[in-house]
Amino acid sequence: MERREVLWEQLHKKGLSDAEIEQRIQQKLDEVGGLLTEEGALAIIANELGIVEEQEYLRIGDLVEGMSNVNVVGRVLGYTEPREFQRNDGSKGAVTNVILADKTGKTALTLWDHEVRMTERIQRGDILKIVDGITREGTRGVQIHLGRGKLILNPEDDPRIDEIPSLSRLSTRPSQRRSIAELEDGQKFCEIRATIAKLYAIRFYDACPDCFKRVEFKNNVFYCSNCKKKVDKRRIMIFEAGLDDCTGFIRASFFDKKAEDMLSIKTSEAYYKVKDLVNKGYDLRSAQRHYITSHHLSLLGQEILVSGDVSYNEYTGLTLNAREIKELDILEECYALLEGSA
């Protein structure tokens, strides 16, 4: 019996009719803007009703924030250089992210402290199996944390291994070139060639250095409600611009390092320039806009290649959340036009 059928039968035993199940599935799909399969939605509904299932069929593309007992398998594309930091109590910690992929998508496995040593045995191309992990929202989507779970290197008995693409296929997965008119909510790995037609503003927020969620300042310390701990804040810069390619217009959001790359300025330097304007009498929003128009007006009219994921916000409409900014290679673009792919 397929996983979908098993879950459906278990939900029937909980007293749900077919119509009620279909309705709940649609509600889950609507909540995440289509970034979930029906099978993934069924799994979440079952979990909410206390149904414990064997999750050997879970794929990376099914992951959403807040899941527990996560069991997934993926191929290692690489990992970040371990970063050491000092906690508020003076103790030292370390963190690294292992990038995993299967045929349905990519995710990051975040390893902490003693877990970081596992990367000494992990190589690109290896298969990792996470058993009883948990998921949290990160800067680039859902990330996996081990929690009390465990990690198995190159398992041999999981049927999902055979369906995971090779390292070369996963590593060379190209972003799909689209026109702005073709962009829709939920699309990933979209690349557009467009002109910077509008500069909105920059803004800053104090973030948790681990999950990048906004932190609160209370009792003279910074506290992350997502990680549920005191943290040393990290200042994040976000730059937003309007892009036009003659087929349409879309707002693009550049986060953290991508914002620094676009503006050719460090976050701390931009922050204090905006702060100086506030000290001169500007309100915060006006200062953020004035800074952009005073220092980065030369960006207008520049043509860029940017790839990322598309999301919808009821206030700003469709937004392209930038993953990568590329230099425009005119010769390469000409070849692409001749081949009919640009």
In the listed set 173, 207, 225, which residue is the last one of a domain according to the structure?
173
Cα separation, 62 vs 64, whole angstroms: 7
Q: Which residue has the higher pLDDT, 89 or 112?
A: 112
Q: Give the pLDDT score at 335.
A: 59
Tell me, yes or no, whether 169 and 183 share the same domain. Answer: no
Nearest to 112 by CA among 142, 133, 140: 133
- Domain containing residue 94: 58-173
Question: Quick one: 191 and 165 in the same domain?
Answer: no
Query: How many CB atoms are closer than 10 A to CB 27?
Result: 11
Answer whether residue 342 shows pLDDT above 80.
no
Residue 280 banded pLDDT, cuts 50, 70, 90: very high
Percent of the chain with pLDDT strictly greater than 70: 89
Q: Which tens digits make up the pLDDT trace of 129-164?
A: 998 899 887 766 789 999 888 899 998 877 888 889
Whole-prediction pTM: 0.56
Do 126 and 221 belong to one domain? Answer: no
Q: What are the distances in angstroms from CA 119 to CA 111, 115, 128, 321?
A: 9, 8, 11, 29
Residues in contact with 186: Cβ distance below 8 Å, sequence separation at least 6, in sequence order: 33, 34, 35, 310, 311
Sign (positive or negative) of CA dihedral 107, 113, 115, 120: positive
List 199's β-bridge partners, or say none. Answer: 241
Going by pLDDT thresholds of 50, 70 and 90, the confidence category of residue 84 is confident
Q: Do 181 and 258 have their domain in common?
A: yes
What does the pLDDT look like over 199-220, one tens digit per residue? 998 999 998 887 778 899 888 8
Claim to verify: residue 184 and residue 303 sit in the same structural domain: yes
Provide the pLDDT for residue 193: 93
Query: C-alpha angle with apex 150: 149 to 154, nearest 5 degrees?
Result: 145
pLDDT value, residue 1? 45
Amino acid at 10: Q
The 10s digit of each residue's pLDDT in 286-303 is 999 999 999 999 999 999
Q: What is the pLDDT of residues 221-254, one digit of tens each?
A: 899 887 788 888 889 999 999 999 999 999 999 9
Residue 56 has pLDDT above 70, yes or no: no
Question: Which of 86-90, 183-187, 213-217, 263-267 holds the top average pLDDT?
Answer: 263-267
Domain count along the chain? 3
Q: Residue 318: what pLDDT?
A: 92
Q: Which of 118, 140, 173 is the last residue of a domain?
A: 173
Do 294 and 265 sit in the same domain of this protein? yes
Q: How confident is the model at residue 336 (pLDDT cuts 50, 70, 90)?
A: low
**Average pLDDT over the chain, rounded to an integer:** 85
Is 218 in the same domain as 78?
A: no
| Residue 99 and residue 137 in one domain | yes
User: Which region among 37-46, 63-72, 117-126 has the lowest average model confidence (pLDDT)?
Assistant: 37-46
> Rounded CA gap, 182 and 224, in Å?
38
How far apart are alpha carbons 60 and 46 in whole angstroms? 18
Does 42 share its domain with 76? no
pLDDT recorded at residue 339: 56
- Residue 341, pLDDT above cutoff 60: no
Claim to verify: residue 46 and residue 74 sit in the same structural domain: no
In one-letter notation, the amino acid at residue 248 is G
pLDDT of residue 269: 96
Question: Quick one: average pLDDT of 6-31?
Answer: 85
Instruction: Assess contact for 59 and 72: CB atoms under 8 A.
Output: yes
Higher pLDDT, 40 or 295: 295
What is the secondary structure of 7-52 as a DSSP string?
A: HHHHHHHTT--HHHHHHHHHHHHHHTTT-S-HHHHHHHHHHHTT--
Distances in whole angstroms, Cα of residue 7 to Cα of each of 11, 159, 162, 170: 6, 19, 24, 30
Q: In the predicted model, is pLDDT for residue 173 greater than 60?
A: no
Q: Is the pLDDT of residue 20 over 50?
A: yes
CB distance 235 to 166 below 8 Å:
no
In DSSP notation, 150-177 reads EEEES-SS-GGGGGSPPHHHHHT-PPEE
3-state secondary structure at position 244: strand
According to DSSP, the β-strands at 234-244 and 303-313 are unpaired
Q: What is the pLDDT of residue 177?
A: 85
Clarify whether residues 140 and 74 are in a common domain. Answer: yes
Q: Can you give the CATH number for the domain in which 293 is found?
A: 2.40.50.140
Rounded to an integer, the average pLDDT of 13-23 is 89
Residue 174 above 70 pLDDT? Answer: no
